[in-house]
Amino acid sequence: MIKKNRLLYGIMIAAAGASLLIGGTVAYLTDYDTAANEFTVGKVDIELQEPGWDPEDHKKILPTEEIKKDPQIKNVGINDAFVYLEVSVPVSKVITADNAGNRKEAADTELFTFTPGKDWLLMDSYMSGTSKIYQYVYTKILPASQTSSALFEKMNFANIIEGQLDGQTLNVPVRAYAIQTVNTGDNSESVVDQAKAAFTKYINQNKQQPGAASVKS
């Protein structure tokens, strides 16, 4: 009988000891803190500039006339950007003359021509209505606060036989686009390839939206 009581006592002590050990395992030293992480949203913003263009100089243009026009883009945002220029050249069925003055048959003719600068690469060209659309990509990333080189410095009016377009107002619209460089250009190491990939995404994102890029019909 005495042995049995001792056994029970031993079990109770063991159980009490176990409960103390279990209690000790949940007594953690704890603390906490918070961190305020502030994020500034980036901004892509550009200005289309033509410092050499003066509309007062071109109210009455003549065949083969050289016209000062120098479209370029200034990055006035806070993010680096891929930039692009789109030029719409009017096309008309007219009679022209060659360099020797020989009269040609009437044909669809781009009324203005230009030579792009070395920093610009043609991405695409196609007819849209009565205009030929040219889309160029700048071959460099344009950092914030910097200005691209001009797409071209001048345009030349076609050598049109007089009397065909007299009194008409001709427009050469130029549009500029910019896209952030971060996470838009895929994995290519080429700036041009990255910019082209980004432009495709821009077209897809902005279909039927203000600022949508022109696309082939």
The domain spans of the chain are 46-205
Given pLDDT bands bounded at 50, 70 and 90, which one contains residue 213? confident
Q: Which of 17-21, 59-63, 169-173, 210-214 has the lowest mean pLDDT?
A: 17-21
Fold of 46-205: Immunoglobulin-like (2.60.40)
Please give the Cα distance from 168 to 160 (Å, whole number): 13
Given pLDDT bands bounded at 50, 70 and 90, which one contains residue 210? confident
* Burial state string for 130-146 with b = 16 or more CB within 10 A and e = fewer than 16: ebbbbbbbbbbbbeeee
User: Which CA distances in Å does 217 have to 110, 132, 174?
Assistant: 19, 13, 19
Residues 85 and 176: beta-carbon distance below 8 Å: yes
Q: Is the model's pLDDT at 94 over the cut of 70?
A: yes
pLDDT of residue 173: 92
Q: Please indicate whether residue 29 or residue 66 has the higher confidence score (pLDDT).
A: 66
Mean pLDDT of the chain: 82
Q: What's the average model confidence in pLDDT over 211-215?
A: 76
The pTM of the full predicted model, rounded to 2 decimals, is 0.79
Q: Please indicate whether residue 14 or residue 73 has the higher confidence score (pLDDT).
A: 73
